[in-house]
Amino acid sequence: MLKYILKRLLIFIPTLFVIALATFYLSVNVPGDPVEQMLNSNNDAGSSAGQKASEQAYIDKRHELGLDLPVFYFSISNQAMPKNLYEIPKKFQRQNLNQFIKKYGNWNEINIYYNQVQKFSYLVSDIPSDSTNADILINIKDDVQNLFLENDDKLLQYTFTNLKSNIAKDSVLESSLATALQQTNFDYNQIKEKATPNKKLIPALHWYGTQNQFHQWITNFFKGDFGISYQDGRPVKTVIWKAVRWTLILSVISIILTYLIAVPLGIFSAAKKDSLMDQGISTTLFILYSLPNFWVATLLILFFGGGDFFDIYPANGVGQLEPTMSWIQQFWTRTHFLILPIICFTYGGLAFLSRQMRGAMINTLSQDYIRTARAKGLNEEAVLWKHSLKNSLIPIITLFANVFPLLISGAVIIEFKFTIPGMGKTAYEALLARDYPVVYTIVMFSAILTLIGYLIADILYAWVDPRIKFDKK
Amino acid sequence: MTIANSIELKQDYWSYVKRQFKKNKRALFSLYVVGFMALIAIFADVLANEKPIVCKYEGKTYFPIFNEYLVDLKIGKPYAELNNISWIDADFDFAIRPPIPYSPNTQDILNFGFVSPFGKQDVKSIRWRHWLGTESIGRDVLSALIHGTRIAFMVGLVSMSIASVIGILLGSIAGFFGDNRLKASRATLFMFIITGFFGFFYAFTFGKILLGLIIILVSFILAYLLGFILKPIPFFKKKIAIPVDILIQRLIEVLVSIPGLFLIIAIIAIAKPSIFLVMVVIGLTSWTEIARFIRAELLKVRSLEFIEAAEALGYPKWRILLRHAIPNSVGPVLITIAFGIAAAILIESFLSFLGLGIPPETLTWGKLLSLAGGGKSELWVAIFPGFAIFLTVTLFNLIGEGLTDALDPRQKK
């Protein structure tokens, strides 16, 4: 048994590693720039010094978040791609350069052009804005941004002619920018002339070592440091710890309720098989089982939670506890707030479990040893509770493994609908805000929980049914 | 597999299953209702549409709905004369309109803000009544429900087709070959790794899905052919077993351990909303159950006499798998597919309830349901789409139960 558990735990490692890779891969490829998101800066710096300062702030933040490292231990790319493209700080510019390389395949020329665009943009920001050139300057700044973010030939040609005509409108602008613009345009044409697109057809392997984002994240994760939330800069640990409480309360209550009601109900139903009672219970359970929980949540809120019908239960939040309240009052407040969510949380699993219990019980009751037990004159109670129950529990136990993932996904909709600040709501909001440190951590934790759930189910399985042996195969 | 032996009845497996299924009245009834709903889904455009089926305008006859199909297929042009008219208020000489004269996106500005189906409605005649009321900006609920049926059924069908193909293929490979029955020479394996690498490399370099798939396929064929070159070398000639069962089981374990809903939300949240993407993602994440089912089935089937006979006749393994083993074990998979369709429809409604995955202007059942707040007047918008989801899910679950009774030998009396 111990050997089996150890073996299973060993198998966990590659599985977890793959899950970590998958979530990480998704997060790297998402649109949006977390650094920009955290800085909330506007790029409209008054001078080149200001622009450089804001760029430095960006670089510092990027370093703080660990995003200035290469993504993974190695990268498989092509000969055209430089090894250190990740050193370009701004994500959108990096993506644009990536497209450039894919198109033309000559990093040297592209790099010269990129630096020239950078220089040109400093020149533009150094020009003081006055009443005569304000409008033109805004146009020029927009076009400079386009140079950073565009790679389409037609669009760039258009941008260059646009810049040229705008600069020509004002003599001060012309004197300070014309040559730089010409140089930029020349560099761009160089890219096109010296294009080597075939270079990208030869594969290249770049090795980065352990100084990479994935390594940093995964080692920190197992050290217990989950990073900081991109949304508000709080440590992920705090964010999740606060949220976990509510989901735990909800799910533990609902699991207990589910098993407490479902097991006796299933047994009762099976014992009175095909009676009117059984048919009634079975039909009700089947209907409950098919009811979508978000519909039930909507209807419960509509009818009982502050709608126009019966305003009995609050539909939002978890209630405010006053320190002056006695514990009964506190308990009562919480119950008052949590009763609707708990109903939503419980009914589906309850219906599912009762049906499984009934099926398993009926299956057991038709076995030969039960007939023997009855034949030797045991009363029905003893047959049910002593001989059938334990054997019928097997399918129920396997379901225990499915409870964890179910709870998390169930939590999303119920916490969202009833505005409970739990794991589901936190995860959902983090996902929408692309707050990946929070998302990673929750996904990893629920994966670990699920794997543990399967393991516990297997062990319980052997405990209930001694015929199942794991060591032999 | 037990096969019915009575002389007067048709003897093959599927007619037996059919007879068993028909015994379950609830499941049979559900199947009929699902068929009826499928008809609604297919004919949604002529059942609820603001455009007339046939109309005469300034002396000319038009078929606006059918013309739209032609335009969508790029073989027709939109009617230039009807370009700027309002379909609802236009002065047609005559027009045959669909039973529900509203498209799901038609905004009835006179009846906005959750008009009740039973209350007074500001409509021209009873022909224009909103039978199930309207939602906040005056879109007809019944029309949205009819078109939502199409989306729901498409989601169920497409995602489960994807899931079935992947699940049946991987599950049967795992079950049939196990850990030591799929053997390849070192030469082929070696070549597979090399051409596979280049295949994926170029597929990603060119970045086109179809081209990429072709490149990967070609690279695999190439690997097989190139393998023959290396075979004369003794080291490469040796055959080794590929533990496909372990590999596929691990893959399933990984997929099951990531909370599926998270995976779906994560993929959908970062991509451009499209209903097709939702279907593909649901399909790609829900094949594990099918794979497990068919794996278990194939473990049984592969030791049966007819497979041994085929092996004795010297048929290649792949042919035995595809022609003999899989066709004799897909029956039970139908059960998982029926339940899977219910689950897929549920997931899609759930996603659109959260406003994920579908373009903002598309009205699905879940989206419609999410529009309901707490007001008494909004009750109808909460009840009808919710009931539609509930009904469809229940029907597919009932069919699944019926199939379980008909197909699962354990429960046979």
Are residue B176 and residue B310 in the same domain, yes or no?
yes
Of A200, A201, A298, the CB nearest to B386: A298
pLDDT for position A472: 45
State how far the Cα of A396 lies from the Cα of A364, in Å rounded to an integer: 13
Answer whether A292 sits within 8 Å of B346, measured CB to CB.
Answer: yes
Total structural domains in chain B? 2
pLDDT tens digit string along A321-335? Answer: 667 777 777 777 777
Residue B412 has pLDDT above 50, yes or no: no
Chain B partners within 8 Å of A298 (Cβ) = 369, 372, 382, 386
Answer whether A306 sits within 8 Å of B349, measured CB to CB.
Answer: no
pLDDT for position A408: 64
Give the least confident one: A41-55, A416-430, B92-106, B273-287.
Answer: A41-55
Are residue B196 and residue B149 in the same domain, yes or no?
no
pLDDT tens digit string along A108-117? Answer: 888 888 888 8
pLDDT for position B341: 93
pLDDT for position B411: 47
Please, are residues B264 and B285 in contact by the beta-carbon 8 Å criterion? yes
Residue A320 has pLDDT above 70, yes or no: no
Answer whether B266 sits within 8 Å of A18, measured CB to CB.
Answer: no
pLDDT tens digit string along A83-141? Answer: 888 888 888 888 888 888 888 888 888 888 888 888 888 888 888 777 777 788 888 88
pLDDT for position B1: 44
Of A26, A298, A427, the CB nearest to B369: A298
Instruction: Decide: helix, strand or coil at residue B57.
Output: strand
With an 8 Å Cβ cutoff, is B179 touching chain A? no
With an 8 Å Cβ cutoff, is B307 touching chain A? no
pLDDT for position B345: 92
With an 8 Å Cβ cutoff, is B217 touching chain A? no
Shortest Cα distance, chain A CAs vs residue B400, angstroms: 12
Please, are residues B260 and A405 in contact by the beta-carbon 8 Å criterion? yes
In a domain, B88, yes or no: no
With an 8 Å Cβ cutoff, is B246 touching chain A? no
Answer whether A307 sits within 8 Å of B375, measured CB to CB.
Answer: yes
Are residue B147 and residue B44 in the same domain, yes or no?
yes
- List C-alpha distances in Å: A272 to A115, A262, A266, B360: 82, 15, 10, 51
pLDDT tier for residue B4 given thresholds of 50, 70 and 90: very low
Are residue B287 and residue B158 in the same domain, yes or no?
yes
To the nearest whole number, what is the mean pLDDT of chain A?
Answer: 81
pLDDT tens digit string along A408-461? Answer: 666 788 888 888 888 888 888 888 787 888 888 888 888 888 788 777 777 777
Query: What is the average pLDDT across A395-401?
Result: 70
pLDDT tier for residue B160 given thresholds of 50, 70 and 90: very high
CB count in 10 Å sphere of residue A129: 14
Of A294, A298, A443, the CB nearest to B262: A443
Range of the domain at B197: 183-241
pLDDT for position A306: 66
Best of A21, A101, A298, A436 to disrupt the B interface (most B CBs within 10 Å) is A298
- List C-alpha distances in Å: A71 to A23, A24, A27, A354, B249: 13, 9, 11, 48, 29
Chain A partners within 8 Å of B338 (Cβ) = none
Answer whether A302 sits within 8 Å of B394, measured CB to CB.
Answer: no
Give the least confident one: A213-222, A327-336, B53-62.
Answer: A327-336
pLDDT tier for residue A473 given thresholds of 50, 70 and 90: very low
Residue A161 has pLDDT above 80, yes or no: yes
The strand pairing partners of A76, in sequence order, are A205
State how far the Cα of B162 lies from the Cα of B169, in Å rounded to an integer: 11
Is the pLDDT higher at A238 or at B119? Answer: A238
With an 8 Å Cβ cutoff, is A205 touching chain B? no
Query: What is the average pLDDT across B4-21?
Result: 68
In a domain, B85, yes or no: no
Residues of chain B numbered 265-284 and touching chain A (CB < 8 Å): 265-267, 269-270
End-to-end Cα separation, chain B, in angstroms: 14
pLDDT tier for residue A402 given thresholds of 50, 70 and 90: low
> With the C-alpha atoms ordered A120, A122, A123, A127, is the resulting torsion angle positive or negative?
positive
Residue B5 has pLDDT above 70, yes or no: no
Query: What is the average pLDDT across A54-81?
Result: 84
pLDDT tier for residue B33 given thresholds of 50, 70 and 90: very high
Chain B partners within 8 Å of A294 (Cβ) = 349-350, 353, 366, 369
Answer whether B393 sits within 8 Å of A292, measured CB to CB.
Answer: yes
Best of B30, B114, B135, B258 to disrupt the A interface (most A CBs within 10 Å) is B258
Residue A397 has pLDDT above 80, yes or no: no
Shortest Cα distance, chain A CAs vs residue B81, angstroms: 36
Model ipTM value: 0.81
Chain A partners within 8 Å of B269 (Cβ) = 431-432, 434
CATH number of the domain enclosing B151? 1.10.3720.10
Are residue B349 and residue B396 in the same domain, yes or no?
yes
Residue B413 has pLDDT above 50, yes or no: no
Of B205, B374, B383, the CB nearest to A201: B205
Is the pLDDT higher at A309 or at A362? Answer: A362
pLDDT for position A319: 67
pLDDT for position B168: 93
In a domain, B122, yes or no: no
With an 8 Å Cβ cutoff, is A408 touching chain B? yes
Answer whether B250 sits within 8 Å of A14, measured CB to CB.
Answer: yes
With an 8 Å Cβ cutoff, is A9 touching chain B? no
pLDDT tens digit string along B308-329? Answer: 898 889 888 888 888 888 888 8
CATH code at A236-464: 1.10.3720.10
State how far the Cα of A116 lies from the Cα of A105, in Å rounded to an integer: 18
Residue A6 has pLDDT above 80, yes or no: yes
Are residue B394 and residue B287 in the same domain, yes or no?
yes
Task: Rank A277-286, A308-317, B114-123, B249-258 by mean pLDDT and report only the highest.
Answer: A277-286
Of A19, A30, A201, the CB nearest to B258: A19
Answer whether A292 sits within 8 Å of B266, measured CB to CB.
Answer: no
Q: Which residues contact B130 (CB under 8 A, 6 or more apart)?
A: B102, B108, B111, B115, B117, B121, B123, B140, B141, B142
State how far the Cα of A175 lies from the Cα of A182, in Å rounded to an integer: 12
Chain B partners within 8 Å of A446 (Cβ) = 258-259, 262
In a domain, B8, yes or no: yes
Best of A16, A79, A294, A435 to disrupt the B interface (most B CBs within 10 Å) is A294
What b-and-e string marks burial along A388-415, b requiring 16 or more CB atoms within 10 Å of the CB? bbebbbbbbbebbbbbbbbbbbbbbbbb
Shortest Cα distance, chain B CAs vs residue A200, angstroms: 8
State how far the Cα of B330 lies from the Cα of B326, in Å rounded to an integer: 6
With an 8 Å Cβ cutoff, is A19 touching chain B? yes
A vs B: CB pairs below 8 A? 127
Q: Where are the domains of chain A?
A: 32-222, 236-464
Please, are residues A89 and A55 in contact by the beta-carbon 8 Å criterion? yes
Query: What is the average pLDDT across B77-92?
Result: 78
Residue B6 has pLDDT above 50, yes or no: no
Are residue B160 and residue B295 in the same domain, yes or no?
yes
In a domain, B129, yes or no: no
pLDDT tier for residue B381 given thresholds of 50, 70 and 90: confident
In a domain, B337, yes or no: yes
Answer whether A294 sits within 8 Å of B350, measured CB to CB.
Answer: yes
With an 8 Å Cβ cutoff, is A201 touching chain B? yes
Residue B276 has pLDDT above 80, yes or no: yes
> With the C-alpha atoms ordered B270, B272, B275, B280, is the resulting torsion angle positive or negative?
negative
